[in-house]
Amino acid sequence: MKVKAFLPAIVVAAVVIVLLVIFVPKIQFGSREGEALISQAALYEKENKLPEARDAYKNAYETYPDAAIVKVAKPKAEELSMKILFSPIVDSNSKEYTVQAGDTLAKISKVFGTTVELIKKSNNLAGDNIRLGQKLKVVTAKFSVVVDKSQNLLLLKQNDDVIKTYKVATGLNNCTPVGTFKITTKLVNPVWYKTGAAVPPGSPENILGTRWMGLSKEGYGIHGTTDPSSLGKQATAGCVRMLNSEVEELYGILPEGTEVTIVD
């Protein structure tokens, strides 16, 4: 009887061994392939082929999504996406535009749904003057934002790709509203209107920091802060709070009308 009872265990063990033999080499092979893509991406980056490097990193973590590959490849893909965004490099998310008679940066940005600030930064323009026939890189990709309240993170998306992750503060006791909204107003150095007083820009009591992007949910927005230690926490009256330097960067990228989705 003991021998008979022992036989099923032997069969189960044999099946497990066979499965391991079949599947484990494939997992290891996938990791090796992912590492090869990362090596190729690093070579592209060294040769200053930034779009190719970004795409290889992205291919690595999307095709071989084990933790070690994702940990290396995803941050590099996002870093290079931002570097390309702020450079004159024309890629699949942008186009070269030739300045026409009567053009201004404001007119061009409106036509392409981008911002004057982004055109200037990506073309290394010191001022607003442009000349007839001048070649400009113009970003044509659609930007959107996702705010994850559970992690106090803001994700900047270019089309369907996350290109940067920012640490933010959200509403105390989970009071930041959930839903999909749009950026309806943008203000540089906003005045903070609190009960009975207007707090001017630059005041240590002005909790809005250096930028305000108001949402279609009245009274709520994305803004800077005078209290960087609050970032990563639920600490606001409901708005999304960012480091001043980071909200300034985001402000320059996002045009009015940008979709902002807030999730629990």
Percent of the chain with pLDDT over 70: 89
Which of 13-22, 33-42, 92-101 comes out lowest in average pLDDT?
A: 13-22
pLDDT at position 21 over 80: no
Q: How confident is the model at residue 64 (pLDDT cuts 50, 70, 90)?
A: very high
Q: What mean pLDDT is reported for the chain?
A: 91
User: For the chain, how big is the Rg over CA atoms in Å?
Assistant: 25
Asked if residues 178 and 197 have their Cβ atoms less than 8 Å apart, the reply is no
Residue from 239, 247, 254, 262 carrying the catalytic annotation? 239
Q: How far apart are CA 33 and CA 61, in angstroms?
A: 11
How, if at all, do strands 170-171 and 234-236 pair?
parallel
Q: What is the pLDDT of residue 29?
A: 47
For the CA atoms of 254, 255, 257, 259, the dihedral, rounded to the nearest 10 degrees, stands at -10
pLDDT at residue 117 tops 70: yes
pLDDT at 2 over 70: no
Taking the CA atoms of residue 209, residue 184, residue 237 and residue 248 in that order, the dihedral angle to the nearest 10 degrees is: -20
Pick from 15-19, 52-56, 159-163: least confident:
15-19
Percent share of the chain, pLDDT over 90: 84
Instruction: Tell me what the mean pLDDT of segment 49-55 comes to.
Output: 97
Amino acid present at 158 = Q
> Is 239 an active-site residue?
yes
pLDDT band at 30, cuts 50/70/90? low
In this structure, how many other beta carbons lie within 10 angstroms of the beta carbon of residue 33?
14
Question: Helix 50-63 and helix 67-85: axis angle, to 10°?
Answer: 150
Question: Does 175 participate in catalysis according to the annotation?
Answer: no
Measured between alpha carbons, how far is 79 from 106 in angstroms, rounded to an integer? Answer: 28
Is pLDDT of 27 > 60?
Answer: no
Query: Is pLDDT at 23 greater than 60 in this prediction?
Result: no
Residue 224: pLDDT above 90?
yes
Buried b (16+ CB within 10 A) or exposed e, 115-149: bbbbbbbbbeeeeeebeeeeebbbbebebbbbbbb
Structure confidence by residue, pLDDT tens digits, 153-210? 999 999 999 999 999 999 999 999 999 999 999 999 999 988 878 999 989 889 999 9
143-263 CATH pick, 2.40.440.10, 2.40.50.140, 3.30.930.10, 3.10.20.30: 2.40.440.10
Q: What is the pLDDT of residues 142-152, one digit of tens each?
A: 999 999 999 99
pLDDT at residue 8 tops 70: no
Is the pLDDT assigned to residue 39 strictly greater than 70? yes
Q: In DSSP terms, which residues pair with 98 in a beta bridge?
A: 135
Residue 4 has pLDDT above 90, yes or no: no
pLDDT of residue 195: 80
Confidence of residue 31 (pLDDT cuts 50, 70, 90): confident
**178 touches 146 (CB < 8 A):** no
Choose the catalytic residue: 54, 149, 223, 241. 223
Of the options 3.40.50.300, 3.30.160.270, 3.40.50.620, 3.10.350.10, the CATH number for the domain spanning 94-137: 3.10.350.10
pLDDT for the residue 205: 87
| Distance from C-alpha of 32 to C-alpha of 19, rounded to nearest angstrom | 20
pLDDT at 20 over 50: no
Both tokens of residue 67? 């933790």
